[in-house]
A and B are shown apart, each in its own frame.
Chain A
Amino acid sequence: MKLIELKDVKKTFKDGRKTIEALKSTNFSVEEGEFVAIIGPSGSGKSTFLTIIGGLQTPTEGKVFIKNDKFSELEEKDRATKRFNEIGFILQASNLIPFLTVKDQLRLVNKVEKSKIDDDKVEKLLSELGIDNLMDKYPSDLSGGEKQRAAIARALYHDPAVILADEPTASLDTDRAFEVVEILARETKKKKKATIMVTHDERLTEYCDSVYTMRDGVLTKNQ
């Protein structure tokens, strides 16, 4: 099943009198359980691409489908709700809320949707990611790798269909970076998510099912 699907998606910006094509007309899809990497130089349109899939901005042309729903056509507010339910974001660093413990980062999800926290689920998820002993720690007490694992836990906790990771290893050393990507790959398979990781580090792509390169707004699949 295709969890993410882009049909003829195009994004243009106006810069004075010029029109810049940040993303040229693109068709793209990710199946469940598929881990996709997108590499490319900075300014190539990788982030634009990711934020369009995440619904943070709408395409100028074309449609984005998440679980076969016309995501890009939704009203801003409904898109936020869908994003909350179906998309897990993992960002470079500042992903975690500084004044919440690891467990409370997850509890916040429950608070927003007015449900009770499921302690077993939290414990299981955190021990899968190897950070169950850090449950009551604040982000400032965690190392870079631990922070990213907590961010992955936060993204997975709500059981979304899609995981979008924007340079998740940017602030990590090589060993930690490999560990984090390995966890992402494992969870994608196990929980049947569609995961897209934007990175500039080509070595990390060995865990991915397919790799795309973005250059000047054109997305091409690597062989």
Chain B
Amino acid sequence: MFLAWQEIKYSKTRFALIIGVVILISYLVFFLMGLAYGLAQENRMSIDKWDADGIVLAEESNLNINMSMFSKDQIETIDAYEKASLGVTSSVVQPQEKTDEESKINVTFFGIDKEEFIYPGVIEGEGFSEENEVIADISLRDEQGINIGDELSLAGMDLTIKIVGFTDNAKFSVGPVLYTDHPTYQRIRASGFGEREDEIISAIAVRSDSGEISDITLSDNELNLYSTGEFISNLPGYTAQVLTFGLMIGFLVLIAAMIIGIFIYVLTLQKSSMLGVMKAQGISSKYIAKSVVGQTFLLSFIGVFTGLVLTLATGLILPAAVPYQNNLLFLVSITTLLIVVAVAGAFFSVRTVVKIDPLEAID
């Protein structure tokens, strides 16, 4: 480390440039990761919020909750530790006094039963108790400026709903969720299929006491049980989006490693006559190689951590509408991965160091 550090101190500009490149790349990687994670979360966070082990959908729905539709009475055919009925429908709402296009908000209604486990924890205001009252995701307040007591009208329907409470982490398909009771949900959904005698729901979230969905049995073969994980990865666009981001991040990590590796390699080549002299003086290849690897570690460590700090700082000043979110596990693993992969890139140069012939330094 002695040689590595002294050299960095001596050639400040050169190493500052290399560190600068590492900072930029790691900043990009971290930031992209935050966006990818945030976006993925906005697709699934309301589902994670249920903390369910599995979900029951209509057999014909092909795992698409929007296409799933069955009678609420069918909940009796499921034998599970805990069950929660859920009606899902997307809609467009607009604050009552407004008429412009911009103020229209795409939302998803979750029709739920107050006694069942999907019912969300209210962080502001109170729960719904009468028809047409809803608990909304807090983003409606943060991004749209809607407050408790505000009334929203539904597009294409003669119906207004009233915000009575807010909950957090309630987003579905990157839009806010409005929780309401089943009767209200039936009316909203009825605009799609007309009035019906029986109550219609989309899904039933289930929990088993062991956490295994194999303990849950269904006696109605119009329904199918899926694990929550399977359901999430089949959300429209979810897997494609996660894979796209994952691939980009993976490639960026590799590119970062190659750039650092190439820089260190060129520096090593430039120094080869000096390294030859050192070898002639009896300093082992091992010591020199350690110093090269140590230097790479220092450069990537400083670069990656500065990138990380910049990312966290950027995260603080981003507007709420940007789906950026940190995840400790991902931050730690990307940091480690970037450094490990960069150091691995330095092993190119180790071969060069070993091959340098001290004899050439003398002649």
Interface of B is mostly: helix
A-B contact count (CB 8 A): 70
Complex contacts, A11 vs chain B, CB 8 Å = none
A84 and B362 contact, Cβ closer than 8 Å, known pairs A94-B277, A97-B278: no
B193 within 8 A of A: no
Which of B2, B282, B359, B362 has the largest number of chain A CB atoms within 10 A? B282
Contact of B362 with A80 in the complex, beta carbons under 8 Å:
no
- The residue on A at minimum CB distance from B363 is A47
Known: A98-B274, A108-B3. Is A80-B10 also a contact (CB below 8 A)?
no
Q: Which A residues lie within 8 Å of B359 (CB)?
A: 51, 56-57
Q: Which residues of A lie under 8 Å from residue B277 when comparing CB positions?
A: 89, 91, 94-95, 97
Instruction: Render A96-112 as a binary contact track against B, CB cut-off 8 A, 1 for contact.
Output: 01111000100110011
Contacts of B7 in A (CB 8 A): 99
Nearest residue, chain A, Cβ from B358: A56
Other A-B contacts than A51-B362, A56-B362, A88-B281, 4 sampled, CB-CB below 8 A, are A83-B280, A89-B281, A95-B277, A108-B2
Which residues of chain B have C-beta atoms less than 8 A from A138's C-beta? 10
Is B362 a contact partner of A112 (Cβ separation < 8 A)?
Answer: no
Complex contact A85–B282 (CB within 8 A):
yes
Using A56-B359, A91-B362 as known contacts, say yes or no to A112 and B287 having CB atoms under 8 A apart. Answer: yes
Residue of B nearest to A76 (CB): B285
- Residues from chain A with a CB closer than 8 A to the CB of B361 are 91, 94
Interface residues of B in 269-287 (CB under 8 A from A): 273-274, 277-284, 287
For A82, list chain B residues within 8 Å (CB): 282
Cβ of A54 < 8 Å from any Cβ of B? yes
A-B contact list, 17 entries, CB within 8 Å = A51-B359, A51-B362, A54-B280, A56-B358, A56-B359, A81-B282, A83-B281, A85-B282, A89-B362, A91-B280, A91-B362, A97-B3, A99-B10, A100-B10, A104-B6, A108-B3, A111-B2
Specify which chain B residues have a CB less than 8 angstroms from the CB of A211 in the assembled complex. none
Q: Please name the 4 residue pairs, one residue from A and one from B, whose CB atoms are nearest each other, closest first.
A: A84-B282, A83-B282, A99-B10, A111-B2
A166 within 8 Å of B by Cβ? Answer: yes
Say how far B70's CB is from chain A's closest CB, in angstroms. Answer: 74
B11 part of interface (Cβ distance < 8 Å): yes
Closest to A80 in B: B282
Tell me which residues across on chain A come within 8 A of B11, comparing CB atoms. Answer: 99
Q: Which residue of B lies closest to A104 (CB)?
A: B6
Contacts A47-B363, A51-B362, A97-B274 given; does A89 touch B6 at CB 8 Å: no
Chain B residues with CB under 8 Å of A54's CB are 280, 362
Q: Is A150 an interface residue (CB 8 A)?
A: no
The reply on A17 being an interface residue by CB < 8 A is: no
- B7 CB, nearest partner CB in chain A, Å: 5
Neighbouring B residues of A184 by C-beta, 8 Å: none
Interface residues of A (CB under 8 A from B): 47, 50-51, 54, 56-57, 77, 80-85, 87-89, 91, 94-95, 97-100, 104, 107-108, 111-112, 138, 154, 166
User: Are B6 and A94 closer than 8 Å at their CB atoms?
Assistant: no
Distance from B362 Cβ to chain A, minimum over Cβ atoms (Å): 6
With A97-B274, A98-B10, A100-B6 known to touch, is A47 a contact of B283 (CB < 8 Å)?
Answer: no
Chain A residue numbers with a CB within 8 Å of B278 are 97
Inside 8 A of A154's CB, which chain B residues have their CB? 281
Of A54, A85, A88, A138, most B-chain CB atoms within 10 Å: A54
Contact of B362 among A77, A107, A166 (CB under 8 A): A166
- B-side contacts of A91, CB under 8 Å: 277, 280, 361-362
Give A89 to B281 CA distance when docked, in angstroms. 6
The interface centre, meaning the residue of A56, A77, A81, A91 with most chain B CB atoms within 10 A of its CB, is A56
- The contact string, 1 if C-beta is below 8 Å from chain A, for chain B 282-306, is 1110010000000000000000000
| Bound Cα distance A4, B71 (Å) | 101
List A contacts of B282 (CB < 8 A). Answer: 80-85, 87
Q: Which residue of A lies closest to B10 (CB)?
A: A99
In whole angstroms, how far apart are the Cα atoms of A99 and B281 in the complex? 17
Residue from A57, A94, A98, A112 with most neighbouring chain B CB atoms (10 Å): A112
Which of A47, A50, A84 sits near B281, CB closer than 8 Å?
A: A84
Instruction: Evaluate contact between B3 and A80: CB separation under 8 angstroms.
Output: no
Residue of A nearest to B3 (CB): A108
Q: Closest Cβ of chain B: how far from A109's Cβ, in Å?
A: 9
**Interfacial chain B residues near A83, Cβ < 8 Å:** 280-282
CB distance from B270 to the nearest CB of A (A): 11
Contact A77 B284, beta carbon cutoff 8 Å: yes
Give the most central of B11, B284, B358: most A CB within 10 Å: B358
Q: Which residue of chain A has its CB nearest to the CB of B275?
A: A97
Using CB atoms, name the residue of chain B closest to A84. Answer: B282
- A81: which B residues are within 8 A, CB to CB? 282, 284
* Smallest Cβ-Cβ distance to A77: which chain B residue: B284
Cβ contacts under 8 Å, B279 to chain A: 80
Residues on the A chain within 8 Å of B281, using CB: 83-84, 88-89, 154
Most buried by A among B7, B11, B281, B283: B281
